[in-house]
Structure 1
Amino acid sequence: MSDRISVTFVSTSGKHADKTVQIPRDLTILDAARYAGINIEATCGVRGRCRSCRVKILKGAIPPPSVQDTVQLGHDEVLEGFRLSCQTRMLDDSTVAPMPPKTEEGHKILEAHDSMMDADEFHLDSGITKITVTAKAPVEEHHQTSDVEEILVTISDLAHHNVPIQCMRKIPPILRKENGKLTVTRFNGRIIDVEAGDTTNKLYGFAFDIGTTSLVGTLLDLRTGEQLASAGGVNAQAVYGGDLMSRIAYAQFDEKKLTTLRAKVINQVNQYIRECCEEAGVDSEHVYKIVIVGNSCMHHIFLGIDVSYLGLAPYAPVVRENLVFPASDLPLKAAPNAQVCMLPIIAGFVGADTVACILATRIHESEEIRALVDIGT
């Protein structure tokens, strides 16, 4: 008897084409689905405690039901060939149809695209500034200078003279276009981008809330605070566990699984950046700041930080302070010139999303006792 079997997945919803994979006999149907690139949700973290990963076995020998199958699916569905894919190992070559319950896909999470800013209440300061300068390319051999120096000398209030290597690579042709007129973009005084011509009116940013259940992103004009577009949906990691502790249990002490979870959220953020920029007619290279919040678990997974000990007493995060990275470090390829800002974590699972709520509501400025309630997952 062969130690491998063939499992064919057929779609009842049209979401994917039929796919067949060869797997070792000791793998579950859920494992086979992931090999095939088919997302089947397992919101309980592959513990047989929910119905989200149920499938129907259409062809092949149907394995006897487990206790979890009977408890979660009931006698009637078990007789009809339904099984929990996270608990079931096939006996021979089989055809299976994923039959998950309805998910939250398609739910509209954000609606308004209006400006959030009130000139009387807010002062918008993203730390991103753009200035137009005119610099001359070096022309005399006896004048010891460089392209970068010729640009820096035109900026009177430059706080940092370090120019990123990606900017240096762009400078030679830019400096020799449009008679040396160019736009320099800075973050907290540090140069982060250089462009030919005047692009000072193109200044955009994103705000992302990475929740355990849902993920939402909003594109904003950093000059006015206007919301230009938004995108949101179920957090793509949900197929590996629907709640925070299930997500931690999946990745605990397993670097490969942590990488899998991280790839899901990085890809989703990149996707939403592209979607919003396309909707608003914005070049994603003009996205210069991305602020991201989430609970401590989502924060760590996004950064690829081990969550193993976050799930154990005393539930201490690896880092709590505000963090800033170039998008290329993560990488968020959809916004190559952006600075990514992670708001600080408070303690335990009280994360940066709570800090964002405090800042948005200004509850900390109130002289009265107030309660801030965030009912999540």
Structure 2
Amino acid sequence: MRKKIKVGIIGSVGVPAKYGGFETLVHYLVKHLAGQFDLRVYCSGEAYKKEERLQEWEGARLHYIGLKANGPQSVAYDILSMLHALRTCEVLLVLGVSGCVLLPVLRLVFPQKFIINIDGLEWRREKWGKFARMFLKFSERQAVHFAHRIITDNRALQEYVAEAYHSSSELIAYGGDHVGKVEIDASLLPYYPFLGRNYAVKVARAEPENKLEMILEVFSQYNQMDLVIVSNWDSTRHGRALRARFGHFEHIHLVDYIQDLRILDMLRSNATLYLHGHSAGGTNPSLVEAMNLGRPILAYDVVFNRETTANEALFFQNTQQLLQHLQQLSPRKLQQLGKKMKSLALKHYTWEVVAQQYARTIRQVCAGPVFSTQPELGGLPRPAEDLPDSPI
């Protein structure tokens, strides 16, 4: 029996998932790949109380680092996780570039293989100051130049890596089929009175690049449909300002972060329309999830969102375009758009497809050689039937 490859997964808050996109990715990679690989997942000791900390989950070993996985501490968190993983793991799958500033040194000293998912151009996000952006850009450069394999989650991001660094990357997106239709629970109507009415929904962090202000400005003038935005309103200055400015409108519902996936799916799956305002990053998990729920998508017009939806969604660049789309919506158009989104999601954005792509990449890196530096661009992530069988 062949010995399982030991893989350390670094850069997420941890599992079971209780936070965001990378966490959901790790959650389902473990569920799909723990039988094929010896997985060790690094988790934030700040995010899991002592009584919540498991030594093993779904066949993966869990290690806790006593730092936050996000924000300024993410650099030390990732570096300490990598140093620990280098003791026992053959492959390090690193999510994000924060700790990659040390990658050139690690490559000189250690023989292990590094696979880096560079996320979505973190250095471009408006929330970062000048120094933070310079640091993240430098870390991204180190990741691309010194990793054995780079993963990008969107074709536009893959093209960026090819043009900026003359380097290839493996295109692997996210799955969204863990979400599902949830019928309206009448007992929750007092808390969510918009259920059963026409409403648009959006799930996003309260950051400027997610265009919450633009969307709220339009709905402050347009009251033919309720607006529901689920966000961490009180966690950021931007969120608190928006709540103070728009929270008094009766048809606008600014809902705090929902940890219960069943309730979140209820709000999303019964919505008339899903609004996606993300302007930074690659393939966004919340967009893929909305597509899997068969929701019509009205998205901010950036290349990442066009690639994710194969140009089949509706797009807006400003308040005027958004208002115009809302005024022109019809039940037939919404139904057709929802069907298109669902079809795309089932073909490209399922965890079976994503896990198979990661498994193939891990085996290829272990077998060597690494990618050529000559960029080869792909389209949407390929469905499972289009992928070659991975050797076991």
Using the size of structure 1 for normalisation, the TM-score is: 0.24
More helix, by proportion = 2
Higher relative contact order (CA 8 A, sep 6+): 2
Could you say which structure has the larger radius of gyration? 1
